[in-house]
Amino acid sequence: MYVPKPLPPSFAVARWFFSRALAAIFCFAFASLLPQVRGLIGAHGIWPAALFLTKARAQLGPGVVWQAPSIFWLNASDSMLTGTCLAGLAVALVMAAGIAPGACALALWALYLSLVSVSSPFLDFQWDGLLLETGLLAVFALPWRLRPDWEERSPRPRFARGLLWWLLFRLMFESGVVKLASGDETWRGLTALDFHFATQPLPLWPAWFVHQMPRWLLRGAVLVLFAIELVAPCLIFAPRRWRHGGAWALIVLQAVILATGNYAFFNLLTIALCALLFDDAAWPRRLRERVAPGVRWPVPPRLWLTRGCAAGAVVCALLALPPLLRDFGLRAAWPNPVAPLCSFNGYGLFAVMTTERPEIIIEGSNDGLVWREYEFPWKPGDLRARPRLAAPHQPRLDWQMWFAALGSYERNPWFGSFLMRLLQGESEVLGLLKTNPFPQHPPQYVRALWYEYEFTSSGEGGAWWRRKLRGRYSPELSLAPAADAEPAPK
């Protein structure tokens, strides 16, 4: 008696959900950047894109277009920067409506890559690279028709889904490996979470309460974290129930991070990747009937097409392998010729835990005697200001101030340019701040002080933070004809 070969599990609903989730995340990314882009990289911004491109062309010559792929080689004006963000937002909304999602993913990837290529250091975060890599793989995973069919009727989306699983594995597994490979004593001694909630870049107010928890409980949480980051990713390629269990563990971890810190769209994007691990049988029946009522695989795919898709998947997997090998102290024997695309990346947040929280406080003065603070909208400043929710919006300057505080004034050349823009009273840059203590005219002098910030303990009144002066971060600056420093190419 003939028994038909069982069909592979269908992931039509997962593709449908992933497409809309990715569109929403691109919406968040472009909408977040839109009000900031002129102040960050505009003509009168902190680190102008046009100056970066001029310097890059002079230093790198004809190959510069590949080294920094961007539509801004045609025009890097403020209107072009704003128009690119608006175009990305419009395409993301079209994709969210379910129209030609594969083509929209390609357009979104190209637009976001154009911004990333000219926006260092403000778009150098791991989730920017993660969004680009996910967007590029989505080009192959999602249908291209105007009215898409979500069934996997060719081998292309199957192999692309495997690459997205491979991306999720690398993202989470590398995050666990780098913590151990770094040799950091706080991770190895299970004390990292004693510091994390108070020293992370932009904590949320629940982080204050978690920071007060018993130390033994926080150290147990480190063990749970390692179990999730090192074991759950391995379940991605396990049988169905194990795979679903691993997916839920990763989702719970992202939910905890969402509740205690502002990491832009990173956690939402990771959850969207986790959704691809659930086959159709795991989704509500009504949703299955709406998205995928048809029959899978009406005809067997041609052998040459299957082999071609498999070969492409292997090449993509190998391009993304060198960063993982480096985590284990190995060196890949092949170069990465597509590194400028920022789409085959290494990952791993908080490889070394910061155990202190230095903060930069910027002050201005008209006479060099009375100084007034500039307030930022999200980063700690006012000791009584409750840490607020910013995500999925990312205040890029607030984030970069956290990194600058961990280094020195000399090693962050953009910071001097930022101070000069304050002396010039540039409205686009001032728009990135919460308050301008000099609304009538710019100050005569600015300076940056270095403070040590800590969460308060229970029962210390209404303050969330306490601080202690460490010294000066930068010298006092005044406006001089020498003016702006120019950005150097990446």
> CB under 8 Å to 335, separation ≥6 — which residues?
none
**DSSP code per residue over 92-136:** HHHHHTTSSHHHHHHHHHHHHHHHHHT-TTTT-SHHHHHHHHHHH
Distance CA 448, CA 437 (A): 15
- In-domain check, residue 441: yes
Report phi then psi at 152, rounded to 5: -85, 90
Q: How many helices (H) and strands (E) does the chain have?
A: 20, 4
DSSP code for 445: E
Q: At what angle do helices 266-275 and 155-181 cross, to 10 degrees?
A: 130
- In-domain check, residue 458: yes
Q: Is the peptide bond before 300 cis (omega within 30 degrees of 0)?
A: no
> CB under 8 Å to 131, separation ≥6 — which residues?
25, 26, 29, 112, 265, 269
**pLDDT tens for each residue of the chain, 490 residues long:** 444 445 567 888 999 999 999 999 999 999 999 999 999 999 999 999 999 999 999 988 888 888 899 999 999 999 999 999 999 999 999 999 999 999 999 999 999 999 999 999 999 999 999 999 999 999 999 998 888 877 777 778 888 899 999 999 999 999 999 999 888 999 999 999 999 999 999 999 999 999 999 999 999 999 999 999 999 999 999 999 999 999 999 999 999 999 999 999 999 999 999 999 999 889 988 888 888 776 454 455 656 556 666 677 677 777 776 776 676 666 655 567 777 888 888 888 888 999 999 999 999 999 989 999 999 999 999 999 999 999 999 999 999 999 999 999 999 999 999 999 999 999 999 999 999 999 999 999 999 999 999 999 876 778 999 999 999 999 999 985 544 444 444 4
Q: What is the pLDDT of residues 20-77, one digit of tens each?
A: 999 999 999 999 999 999 999 999 999 999 999 999 999 888 888 888 999 999 999 9
- In-domain check, residue 437: yes
468 with 402: CB under 8 angstroms? no
- In-domain check, residue 130: no
- In-domain check, residue 370: yes
DSSP code for 203: B
**DSSP code per residue over 23-82:** HHHHHHHHHHHTTTHHHHHSTTSSS-HHHHHHHHHHHHGGGHHHHS--GGGT---HHHHH
Q: Decide: helix, strand or coil at residue 417.
A: helix
Give the pLDDT confidence score for residue 482 in this predicted structure: 44
Counted domains in the chain? 1
Q: Which domain holds residue 468?
A: 358-478
Q: How buried is residue 134: exposed, middle or buried, by Cβ count under 10 Å (0-12/13-18/19+)? A: buried
- In-domain check, residue 417: yes
- In-domain check, residue 422: yes
Cβ atoms within 10 Å, residue 409? 17
> CB under 8 Å to 329, separation ≥6 — which residues?
181
- In-domain check, residue 198: no
Query: Across the chain, which distance is largest between two alpha carbons, in Å?
Result: 96
Strand-strand pairing, 358-365 and 465-478: unpaired
Q: How buried is residue 350: exposed, middle or buried, by Cβ count under 10 Å (0-12/13-18/19+)? A: middle
User: pTM of the prediction?
Assistant: 0.92
Q: For the chain, report the end-to-end CA distance as a whole number of angstroms.
A: 66
